[in-house]
């Protein structure tokens, strides 16, 4: 475990760069990024090395006062995710962060390193207090990173919303730990268990834990902070938040389910499964509607975290039956898709940052087009990421969703009653619809940004990103394809973690419970055969297109007698209109038309058309609560009259009530 300690040392070194002189801030930035990369590499290698062992012993790392930090099988998975994500975003940040020179660059780089380190500490903590302290550091540092560009319009409001929501989640997690710890001798994870408590306490602990971690994961309806916070942060921070931080919610929730809460109740699984499915659908639907590039990716994160928790919910449901081996597939699907999503979403947020870097900060995809001509490397890497988030075969995104669908089949195979079959049907319906919407969203995302022609003149001056940014994107794209084609080792390692470390069921042996490709009786996925088939098809297409006149024909578009402009290309809003009309009852779009003036004597008036999609969860749920709180605060403010005598009387009244309560309930 020496590598883990070395990695932590490098993180601390990177944090200390904030004290470098201001005139050396660029070197402080490079040093912080290098420390993050080296530290994350040490964490990743150490975690992978531990997973490759039998994982029978918890590996102690270090002790800090009363805080114990160690690694077990469950934490090793998320340490690997954190280490890999830290390496990729650290490399990317070398070039991307340099653009912030003169804009608190030292603080940005040091906070970035601290953010990665805090997530490492979250996964290493082996007691409730240490976990909560690390969790709070992670929340506060991420708030500061989201608020880094506070001078921009709306950033401070977004950061404050995130701060409030994340602390509500922390409070809920604290309640869960309080209930769990009330029946334990200490707050160490090895001592926490509520099996001795009644069902009411167990249910309360589950609800509190699920609310807290679902809020951090961005599950509907607790997701409202996510589409705002991720776009506001610098792009390498957005990549880290979406690719790594969201997975901390899965880590914490899994820790409660597998270690603290005892036997899983049926309704727990139904709740997790249902909200996860709704999250996947809503996230994919809104991703296809948004026009802000990073907002699209944020809603996609809601969808993918929904898919991850579908796997968790399926596993929990199957744990309530006697088919525990089938339940393993759901848990394996969850951690495989979580790992894959960390790479996919990191790549796409890095691509978004590259596009912003090359276009002067533009995020509105309606103004883009034709960027593949000016940014060919970014276009190629973004295509790989878009294919993965569309769950196309030969990418790692397909593997996770394939396993999730396979786990839904087990709900039927379990033969546990009509309820399980209905849940499976509900799952196939919403998850299939979410997959189709995600495919449309990323066809739209890539096509509008990179294909066609520039919609505004500024796009014609776009340029490719610095070398460090393209290297990070290239490595991510390579990992996506490698883990999609050679997926067996990844799935086997995930199965090993679940089988050997988490469930601890004596009925299970140490053989791997997942085979990939699966048996032909229930469907199989042979990636190497697909690669060979695609190579053959590629050769055929190349031979057919050798003479371009066979497949390519260029002509002028007929435009009713007028000269066509680049603005008349198919827009992102137009692309998503059929879906918007189909789900108009859910989206409730508002349209505004205004006629400005006669553009031409023969061709009528110039029309301004504006479409807005309100966040119905904010408008119908959170804003009424906010208004009630403001009114309540205004009412309570009336008792603050500024009179010392009045305040003393409040204290006396409180003392009298406390004495009366004590007298009534005295033993």
400 part of a folded domain: yes
Phi first, then psi: give them for residue 83, nearest 5 degrees: -65, -45
Same domain, 343 and 468: yes
The reply to whether omega before 221 is within 30° of 0 (cis) is yes
Residue by residue, what is the 3-state secondary structure of 610-634? EEECCCHHHHHHHHHHHHHHHHHHH
For residues 6-32, give the mean pLDDT.
87
- Whether 268 shows a pLDDT value over 80: the answer reads yes
490 shares a domain with 579: no
Predicted pLDDT of residue 69: 84
Helix (H) or strand (E) holding 604: strand 604-612
Q: Answer yes or no: is 312 within a domain.
A: yes
> What DSSP character marks residue 60?
E
pLDDT digits 0-9 by tens, 473-500? 999 999 999 998 888 888 888 888 888 7
pLDDT at 326: 80
Most confident of 191-205, 352-366, 604-618: 352-366
Query: Is the domain of 482 the same as that of 625?
Result: no
Supply φ then ψ for residue 479, to 5 degrees: -65, -35
Query: 195 lies in a domain?
Result: no
**Does one domain contain both 333 and 432?**
yes
Mean pLDDT of 637-661: 80
Residues 384 and 491 in one domain: yes
Query: Is residue 361 left, alpha or beta, with left meaning phi > 0 and alpha meaning psi from -120 to 50?
Result: left
Regarding whether 431 and 580 lie in a shared domain, the answer is no
The partner residues of 71 in beta bridges, in order of sequence, read 59
The 3-state DSSP class for residue 375 equals coil
User: DSSP assignment, residue 458?
Assistant: G
CA gap 60, 50 in Å, rounded = 12
Place of tokens 């699907």: 333
Q: Residue 452 has what pLDDT? A: 82
Query: Is 579 a residue whose pLDDT tops 70?
Result: yes
**Residue 315 falls within a domain, yes or no?**
yes
Q: Is the pTM of this model over 0.75?
A: yes
* Contact between 242 and 346 (Cβ < 8 Å): yes
In a domain, 343, yes or no: yes
**Domain that residue 584 falls in:** 570-612
* Whether the Cβ atoms of residue 155 and residue 113 lie closer than 8 Å to each other: no
Whether 465 and 322 map to the same domain: the answer is yes
| Average of per-residue pLDDT across 40-54 | 90
* % of the chain with per-residue pLDDT over 70: 87
Number of domains in the chain: 3
Task: Note the pLDDT of residue 565.
Answer: 73
Asked whether residue 438 is assigned to any structural domain, the reply reads yes
DSSP secondary structure letter of residue 596:
E
Q: What is the mean pLDDT of residues 594-617?
A: 67
Is it the case that residue 254 has pLDDT exceeding 80? yes
In this predicted model, what pLDDT tens digit does every residue of 115-145 receive, in sequence order? 999 999 999 998 888 999 999 999 999 999 9
**Same domain (yes/no): 481, 574:** no
> Does some domain include residue 10?
no
Check whether residue 480 and residue 593 sit in a common domain: no
Query: What distance lies between CA 343 and its chain's CA centroid?
Result: 11
Statement: residue 629 has pLDDT above 70: yes
> DSSP code of 16?
G
């Amino acid at each position: 475990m020496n590598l883990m300690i070395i990695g932590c040392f490098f993180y601390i070194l990177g944090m200390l760069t904030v004290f470098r002189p201001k005139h050396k801030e660029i070197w402080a930035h490079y040093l912080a990024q290098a420390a993050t990369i080296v530290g994350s590499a040490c964490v990743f290698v150490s975690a992978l090395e531990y997973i490759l062992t039998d994982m029978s012993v918890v590996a102690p790392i270090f002790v800090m006062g009363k805080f114990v930090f160690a690694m077990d099988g469950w934490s090793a998975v998320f340490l690997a995710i954190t280490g890999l994500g830290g390496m990729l975003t650290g490399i990317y940040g070398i070039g991307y962060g340099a653009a912030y020179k003169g804009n608190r660059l030292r603080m940005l780089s040091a906070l970035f390193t601290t953010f990665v380190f805090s997530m490492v500490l979250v996964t290493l903590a082996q007691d409730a207090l240490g976990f909560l302290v690390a969790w709070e550091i992670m929340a506060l540092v991420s708030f500061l990173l989201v608020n880094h560009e506070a001078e921009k319009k709306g950033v401070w409001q977004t950061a404050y919303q995130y701060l409030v929501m994340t602390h509500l989640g922390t409070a809920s997690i604290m309640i869960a730990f309080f209930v769990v710890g009330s029946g334990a001798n200490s707050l160490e994870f090895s001592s926490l268990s509520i099996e001795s408590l009644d069902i009411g306490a167990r249910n309360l602990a589950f609800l509190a834990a699920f609310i807290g971690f679902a809020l951090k994961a961005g599950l509907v309806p607790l997701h409202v902070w996510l589409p705002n916070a991720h776009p506001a942060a610098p792009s390498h921070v957005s990549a880290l938040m979406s690719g790594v931080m969201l997975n901390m919610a899965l880590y914490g929730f899994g820790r409660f389910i597998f270690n603290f809460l005892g036997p899983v109740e049926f309704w727990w699984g139904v709740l997790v499964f249902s909200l996860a499915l709704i999250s996947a659908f809503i996230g994919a639907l809104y991703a296809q509607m948004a026009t802000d590039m990073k907002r699209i990716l944020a809603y996609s994160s809601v969808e993918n975290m929904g898919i991850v928790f579908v796997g968790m919910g399926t596993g929990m449901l199957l744990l309530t039956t006697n088919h525990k081996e089938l339940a393993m597939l759901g848990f394996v699907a969850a951690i495989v898709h979580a790992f894959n999503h960390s790479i996919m979403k990191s790549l796409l947020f890095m691509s978004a940052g590259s596009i912003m870097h090359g276009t002067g900060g533009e995020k509105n995809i309606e103004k883009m087009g034709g960027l593949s001509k000016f940014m060919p490397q970014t276009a190629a890497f973004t295509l790989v990421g878009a294919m993965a988030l569309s769950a196309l075969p030969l990418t790692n995104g397909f593997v996770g969703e394939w396993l999730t669908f396979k786990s839904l089949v087990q709900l039927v195979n379990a033969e546990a009653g009509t309820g399980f079959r209905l849940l499976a049907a509900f799952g196939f319906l919403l998850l299939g619809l979410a997959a189709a919407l995600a495919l449309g969203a990323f066809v739209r995302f890539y096509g509008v940004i990179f294909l066609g022609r520039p919609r505004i003149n500024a796009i014609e001056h776009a340029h490719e990103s610095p070398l460090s940014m393209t290297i990070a994107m290239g490595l991510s794209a390579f990992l996506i394809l490698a883990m999609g084609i050679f997926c067996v080792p990844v799935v086997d390692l995930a199965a090993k973690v679940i089988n050997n470390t988490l469930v601890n069921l004596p009925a299970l042996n140490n053989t791997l419970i997942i085979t990939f490709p699966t048996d032909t009786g229930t469907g199989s996925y042979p990636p190497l055969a697909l690669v060979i088939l695609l190579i053959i098809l590629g050769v055929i297409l190349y031979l057919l297109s050798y003479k371009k006149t066979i497949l390519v024909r260029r002509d002028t578009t007929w435009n009713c007698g007028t000269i066509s402009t680049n603005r008349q290309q198919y827009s992102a809003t137009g692309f998503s209109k059929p879906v918007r009309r189909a789900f108009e009852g859910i989206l409730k779009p508002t349209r505004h038309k205004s006629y400005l003036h006669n553009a031409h004597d023969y061709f009528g008036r110039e029309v301004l058309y504006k479409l807005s999609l309100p966040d119905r969860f904010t408008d119908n749920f959170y804003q009424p609560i906010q208004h009630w709180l403001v009114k309540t605060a205004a009412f309570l403010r009336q008792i603050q009259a500024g009179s010392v005598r009045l305040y003393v009387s409040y204290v006396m009244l409180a003392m009298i009530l406390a004495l009366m309560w004590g007298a009534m309930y005295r033993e």
